[in-house]
Structure 1
Amino acid sequence: MSELSSGPARAPSDILYDLADGVATITLNRPEKLNALTPQMLTDFFAAVARAGSDPDAKVILITGAGRSFSAGLDLGIIGTGGGGRVETHPETAPQWGDDIGPKLAPYYSGGWPVLITCRKPTIAAVNGPAFGWGFILALHCDIRFAAQSALFNATFARIGVPGEKGSAWLLTRLIGQARAMDLLYTARRFDGAEAKALGLVNDTFADDELLAHAKAYARNIATFSAPRSLAAMKAQVWTALDEDYSTAFAAADHEQDQATKTEDFREAFTSYREKRAPLFTGR
C-alpha cells in the first residue's frame, strides 16, 4: 500500500492507495479525526482517483475509510465560521488564503468531484461507518455503495444554512426519487444502513467485520470477468440515461456495440468461454 503526497516531505499521507488483483483501493486515512476532509486530503484523493483511472492495471476503484468512520465530512477544525457568517481560516493549521476564501477554496473543494463520475471505471464505496456531509456526498458520487451495519448517513446541509452541496440534490434525486431526496435534505436527519438499503441508497449491508472483504471480492469479480471497454461504455450509458430520450440512448448503444465487436476483448470473451477459463482482458 502506498501513500500519496505532493510538495515537500510531510506527515504520512491522509490518503492510502493500494493496487491488487485489478482493484485500486483508496482509503481515507485520518482515523483519529473520523476521516474528516481537508484541502490537501481532497487534493490527494482526487489525484488517487485520476491515477487509478489512467492505470490500465486498475479495473475497479474501491473507496473506504480507515478506522471506524467512512468520513465525518468537512474538517471544521480547519475551516470554521467566523463572526458575521464570514468563513475564516485557522492560521495555525490552514493554508493562508486570506479574506477572499470562497474562490480560493474552489480548486480544493469544487474542482475535483466530477472525476468520480467522469472516470470511466466502476467506483465502489465501502461505507464502514459514519458518512456525514461531504463524506455522504463522496459516497453518492460512487457507482455502487455497500454499507456496514454500523454505518450512519446524514445530509447535514440544512442545519448549517447551506443548500445541498456538490451536486448532492441532483444525485439523491436520481438515486432515490424526488420525495425521498427532499425528506433527507429538508430534515438533515441521521439514518442507518438498514434504512439506506430500504431507500435504495446502498446496494446492500453487511456485518462490520465482513464489509470490506465482501466489497473487495465483489470488485475483484468485476475486475476479472468484465471487459474494461464494456465497463467504460456502460458507466457512460447509466450516468447519462436519465438525461436522454430512449431513441438517443438506443442509437448510442448500437454505435457502441458496433465498435465493441471489433476489439480484441470481444474475441477474448468468446475464446475464454469456449476454453472454460477466466478472460484475459487487455482493454484493446
Structure 2
Amino acid sequence: MKTVNPTPENPPVLYRLDEGVAIISFNRPDKLNALTPDMLKSFFEHVDIAAQDAAVRVILITGEGRGFSAGLDLSVIGTGVSKTTALTRPTPPTKQWGDDIGPGLGRYFGQGWNALITSRKPTIAAVNGAAFGWGFILSVHCDIRFAGESALFNATFARLGVPAEKGIGWLLPRLIGIARAADLLYTARRFDGREAERLGLVNQCLPDAELMPHALAYAKQIAHNAAPRSLAAIKAQIWSAGDDCYDEAFRAADHEQDLAVQTQDFLEGIASLREKRRPKFKAA
C-alpha cells in the first residue's frame, strides 16, 4: 500500500476508541513515523484527551506502517527547532480524570514528558519496527511494552553527542538495571525485539502479525475486567513507590484500601466474583 505524508485528511497522529481502549497511532509511515514538532504536539494532546475521558480505560500506543517511531526527524536536528517549545509537551490540563485517586505523582513527575506516566490510565506500547531515540523514550514511558519480531530499538544519544534525553537516564535503569541500561546508552547499539524481551525491556516479543491483535486483546481484557478506580490507584502506587520507603508505601496502600471498600466498584467486584460473571464497573 502506498503511503502519503500527513494532511488534514490524513493527520500525523490517529486516535480511535475501541471498547474502552484509546488507540493512538503515529501516522507518518513513509518516514518510519519520525517525529516533527506538530506530530509530537498532536501526540501529547491526544494522550491528554484520553487521560481526561472517563470512558477510556487503557491507552495503547503504536505506529502506522513498518515503524513505531524512528525518533526526532533528522531534518529538525541542528536547525534550532529542537530547542523550542514546539518539541515539548503542550501545557497539560490542570485537572484530569483520576488525579485524586492514589498517591500524588506531582512530586515525582511534575514536568516534561510526563503525560503517559501521570495519565492514571494503564499505557501500553505496541512496538512495530523502529523505536529509535525519542521513539524509544516514548515507548519506555509506557507501563507495559509488547514488541514485534521486526522491532528494532536504539538509544541513539551518545552517537549524536547528546546526553540521555527526556528522562531516559532515570527510567531505563529502573526498568532493566544499571549495568544493562549503561550498555544500551553507552554503546547506542541497535537491538531487536527478542533481545528486548531477554533484557526485560518488553513484556513479550511476538510474531509481527500477532503484535497488534495481542496488544489490543490484552488492553481490552484490562478495560473489561478491571475497575478504573483501582487501575488509577495501582498505577500511581507503581510509579511512586520506588521512591518511597516500604512503610510509606504500606501506609499509602492501607489508605487507598480504606477508600476503595466504600465504593460501588468494590461491591460490584465482590458480586461479580460470587456470581461468576464479568464485572460492570462504572466509567467514572
SS class of match (1:116)? helix
| Aligned mates of 1:71, 1:151 — CA distance in 2 | 11
Tell which has more relative contact order, 1 or 2 (C-alpha 8 A, sep 6+). Answer: 2
The within-5 A match list for 1:1-284 is 10=8, 12-77=10-75, 79-81=76-78, 87-88=79-80, 102-105=83-86, 107-108=88-89, 113-283=113-283
Question: Structure 2: which 5+ runs fail to align?
Answer: 1-6, 92-110
Instruction: Give CA-to-partner distance per residue, 1:44-63, whole Å, 9 cap, x none.
Output: 11111111111111100000
Aligned residue type for 2:242: L
| Aligned mates of 2:80, 2:34 — CA distance in 1 | 18
- Report if the CA contact (8 A) 1:155-1:184 is conserved: yes
- Report if the CA contact (8 A) 1:39-1:108 is conserved: no
| Aligned mates of 1:272, 1:49 — CA distance in 2 | 31
| Aligned mates of 1:178, 1:204 — CA distance in 2 | 21
| Aligned mates of 2:51, 2:281 — CA distance in 1 | 16
- Residue identity (%): 61
SS class of match (1:224)? helix
| Aligned mates of 2:80, 2:178 — CA distance in 1 | 34
* Divergent runs of 4+, >4 A: 108-112
SS class of match (1:163)? coil
Q: Give TM-score, length-normalised by structure 2.
A: 0.87
| Aligned mates of 1:275, 1:31 — CA distance in 2 | 47
| Aligned mates of 1:151, 1:175 — CA distance in 2 | 18
| Aligned mates of 2:55, 2:277 — CA distance in 1 | 20
- Report if the CA contact (8 A) 2:26-2:69 is conserved: yes
Question: Structure 1: which 5+ runs fail to align?
Answer: 1-8, 82-86, 90-100
SS class of match (1:250)? helix
| Aligned mates of 1:56, 1:108 — CA distance in 2 | 22
| Aligned mates of 1:242, 1:256 — CA distance in 2 | 17
- Report if the CA contact (8 A) 1:39-1:109 is conserved: no
Shift in Å, 1:115: 0.7
Instruction: Give CA-to-partner distance per residue, 1:157-203, whole Å, 9 cap, x none.
Output: 00000000000011101100111111100000000111101110000
SS class of match (2:175)? helix
Aligned length in residues: 259
Q: Give TM-score, length-normalised by structure 1.
A: 0.87
Aligned residue type for 2:29: P
| Aligned mates of 1:106, 1:69 — CA distance in 2 | 20
Aligned residue type for 2:13: I
Structure with greater Cα Rg:
1
| Aligned mates of 2:146, 2:275 — CA distance in 1 | 33
| Aligned mates of 1:240, 1:56 — CA distance in 2 | 22
Instruction: Give CA-to-partner distance per residue, 1:41-89, whole Å, 9 cap, x none.
Output: 1111111111111111110000000000000000112x132xxxxx445
Aligned residue type for 1:80: I
